[in-house]
Amino acid sequence: MVYTELDPPTRLLLGPGPSNVPPRVLRAMATPVIGHLDPAFLQLMSEVQSLLRYVFRTRNWLTLPISGTGSAGMQAALVNFLEPGDPVLICVNGYFGERMCEMAARLGATVHRLERPWGEVFTPEEVDKALQRHPAKVVAMVHAETSTGALQPLEGMAQVVHKHGALLLVDCVTSLGGVPVLVDDWEVDIAYSGTQKALSCPPGLAPITVGPRAEEVLKQREHKVQSWYLDLTLVQQYWGMERTYHHTAPVSMIYALREALRIVHEEGLERRWARHQRNAELLWEGLQELGLELCVPEPYRLPTLTTVKVPEGVNEAYVRRRLLEDYNIEIAGGLGAWKGKIWRIGLMGFSSRRENVVLLLTALRRILQNPS
Amino acid sequence: MVYTELDPPTRLLLGPGPSNVPPRVLRAMATPVIGHLDPAFLQLMSEVQSLLRYVFRTRNWLTLPISGTGSAGMQAALVNFLEPGDPVLICVNGYFGERMCEMAARLGATVHRLERPWGEVFTPEEVDKALQRHPAKVVAMVHAETSTGALQPLEGMAQVVHKHGALLLVDCVTSLGGVPVLVDDWEVDIAYSGTQKALSCPPGLAPITVGPRAEEVLKQREHKVQSWYLDLTLVQQYWGMERTYHHTAPVSMIYALREALRIVHEEGLERRWARHQRNAELLWEGLQELGLELCVPEPYRLPTLTTVKVPEGVNEAYVRRRLLEDYNIEIAGGLGAWKGKIWRIGLMGFSSRRENVVLLLTALRRILQNPS
């Protein structure tokens, strides 16, 4: 077998992630590697933590990137705060809520589901009632459902959850850096994300932040965390003051994350959220002008990821293939219950640009004129 | 806080990993990211798998990189093949054997330890006797103990393990790509490694290979794997024929691994092993000329990582600090029982070069002339 020079096609990434990575971040990854215990690296780690606190809008001391992708973040968030037999209430309105149930069940938690049709969101009142029926140690929900494009409002949610003595755990994979994620204001106890969405860093790390209530729960655990690799107490001994070796940090990915966060910091979160909103609105308008129907009504429509119904008689996979092959544009199809029925269009981080919206709409118009 | 341009010092990495990364691999990481389900990426994945089979010397179909560092590889190897209550025999002669015990206990396995003093190795006869006392589903051992510098011979080991109906699981983190790892010839059932050692790729991925006996055990599991993220059956559905989305692959790291493996393939494994042996011998000779004592006798001495006793009256941390600050050379101290007592010097992958050995020996000589 001959292994040729690496030369992948140049794609415009408008799917549910990864998004396009800014040249500065790519260049940061090409920086020569240093040791994971080098004093210079320890300094970079502190900066990454400080920048993560900025994007999460939190003062949580326990804020760091897990050495795995967003799903490793989900796994870490569940396995550290749930012990076998612990009751958890999981809000399910899409594919990633389902994934949480699957992960929580595997680690031995008792899973109670609060369900809503795909594309809808939950109210604090519903969560309150559900907790009256099923007390839980943790209430888990998805802030930005990547499978449906729905944005879960979080105002008032923690108050209800805390009233019942539970922790609020939130999946921010497709929201962090693109729409407001206000961990301290909203009193979210545990939040995690991925790097490859609105932060526009390559996939491979999962930022996580843990508030004081959740830290206390971690300290009070009866059994050791099943996963040694994701044990936040051990991971924190490396990222915290002790700097005790746990596992070898993914140095180049940390370089990339630092640069991606530096770019977020330079732009400023408010301007970044506004840019995501502006470009998303341009996209929504353009899609509707093409006669396409959006899946989620505006108050809950996610600016980072838009879901569109595939019109009757249109071959959804064919349209995506034409976009990819003729225009080098990646968008995605549906997951699970919505497979074959929708398209998912991401405008995240570096990919959220006016010129990308215009190009996509033009390409879509041309393809839909001859859709088979 | 001001976040300055990323500009870490340029280090010569002669510790236990990461090793220095070749410019070609660094450049590969700067390649624009494409989607994890892009047909062009799926092709790259197949090439990475084929190259991994080459370095593992195996035809195992289930051969892929886990999306985490070497410790995630260890976790994956244990959690997929051990269910709660399953007996496992773990050979402990260093820090990483201990880590295996800790991980296996956390996932609920019944751990039997076969122990040897740090720096020594096991014979098939000992393992045979231990299995007579404690039948086990899996026998786990470390091929190259990064904490001691001992190389565990594996000839004849699988025969004993298989006679007792168990699987042989081997940690090849510090051996793969630097010393012979002959998975098929030795009939190893499960082997995993890390990317940042003798493969000279940045840390962040854990190659793993699973043979037919072990695949059968995976199929016969009673319970689902506790860790959804590391469930090899699900991971394999993405890396195998189905290409079913599991988690977003760390695209840039896969680029890096492909390039690092391409370099191994171009050099050829036999030539690479010989280079590691040659440069290690040069180092051993030079260290002994400096009056230093090596920890492991030659037949079991690991070419990729050399352990050296700190002479009486020498401040080991001071010597390392001088090497780092005055010469930009990183070596490591001891772990666990050997903390403060030894140095660990790695000559792995791109770092295994004659000029590096000569420079290190010269710097060490100068520092040891005035060691405080």
Share of residues in chain A with pLDDT > 70 (%):
99
Summarize the confidence of residues A29-41 as an average pLDDT. 97
Residue-wise pLDDT tens digits, B86-125? 999 999 999 999 999 999 999 999 999 999 999 999 999 9
Summarize the confidence of residues A183-188 as an average pLDDT. 98
Residue-wise pLDDT tens digits, B323-346? 999 999 999 999 998 999 999 999
CA–CA gap between residue A338 and residue A333 (Å, rounded): 8
Query: Which helix (H) or strand (E) is A38 found in, with range?
Result: none
Query: Looking at residue A371, what is its pLDDT?
Result: 65
Q: Which range has the worst mean pLDDT, A10-14, A242-246, B8-12, B162-166? A: A242-246
Non-local CB neighbours of B156 within 8 Å, separated by 6+ positions? B124
Residue-wise pLDDT tens digits, A314-340? 999 999 999 999 999 999 999 998 999
Q: How far is A163 from chain B (nearest CA, A)?
A: 31
Domain residue extents for chain A: 12-17+269-368, 23-265
Contact residues, chain B, for A321 at CB < 8 Å:
none
Range B12-17+269-368: architecture per CATH = Alpha-Beta Complex (3.90)
CB-CB: which of A8, A69, A258 is closest to B34? A8
DSSP string for residues in B10-63: --EE-SSSPPPPPHHHHHHHTSPP--TT-HHHHHHHHHHHHHHHHHHT---SEE
Share of residues in chain B with pLDDT > 70 (%):
99
pLDDT-based confidence at B372, cuts 50/70/90? low
Nearest residue in chain A measured CA to CA from B266: A3
Query: Looking at residue B241, what is its pLDDT?
Result: 84
Directed axis angle between helix A39-56 and helix A251-267, to 10°? 40
| Amino acid present at B53 | R
Query: Looking at residue A44, what is its pLDDT?
Result: 97
pLDDT at residue B1 tops 90: no
Beta strands in A172-286 (DSSP E): 190-192, 206-210
Residue-wise pLDDT tens digits, A49-99? 999 999 999 999 999 999 999 999 999 999 999 999 999 999 999 999 999
Summarize the confidence of residues B226-235 as an average pLDDT. 97
Summarize the confidence of residues A244-264 as an average pLDDT. 96
Is A247 within 8 Å of B324 when comparing Cβ atoms? no
In three-state secondary structure terms, B335 is coil
Nearest residue in chain B measured CA to CA from A265: B3
CATH entry 3.40.718.10 includes domain B23-265? no
- The verdict on pTM exceeding 0.95 is yes
Summarize the confidence of residues B39-68 as an average pLDDT. 98
Query: Looking at residue B114, what is its pLDDT?
Result: 98
pLDDT at residue A263 tops 70: yes
Residue-wise pLDDT tens digits, A131-171? 999 999 999 999 999 999 999 999 999 999 999 999 999 99
DSSP string for residues in B54-98: HHHT---SEEEEESS-HHHHHHHHHHHH--TT-EEEEEESSHHHH
Query: Looking at residue A193, what is its pLDDT?
Result: 98
Write down the mean pLDDT value for chain B. 97
pLDDT at residue A372 tops 80: no
Closest CA to A316 of A337, A338, A295: A338
Query: Looking at residue A1, what is its pLDDT?
Result: 77
Residue to mutate among A80, A227, A267, with most B CBs inside 10 A, is A227
What are residue A115's DSSP bridge partners? A92
Query: Looking at residue B359, what is its pLDDT?
Result: 98
Q: Please, are residues B101 and B77 in contact by the beta-carbon 8 Å criterion?
A: no
Is B33 within 8 Å of A15 when comparing Cβ atoms? no
Query: Looking at residue B187, what is its pLDDT?
Result: 98
| Rg, C-alpha atoms of chain A | 21
Tallying the residues shown for chain B, one arrives at 372
Is A26 within 8 Å of B35 when comparing Cβ atoms? no
Summarize the confidence of residues A342-353 as an average pLDDT. 98
Is A228 within 8 Å of B262 when comparing Cβ atoms? no
Query: Looking at residue B217, what is its pLDDT?
Result: 98
pLDDT-based confidence at A242, cuts 50/70/90? confident
Is B6 within 8 Å of A202 when comparing Cβ atoms? no
Query: Looking at residue A122, what is its pLDDT?
Result: 98
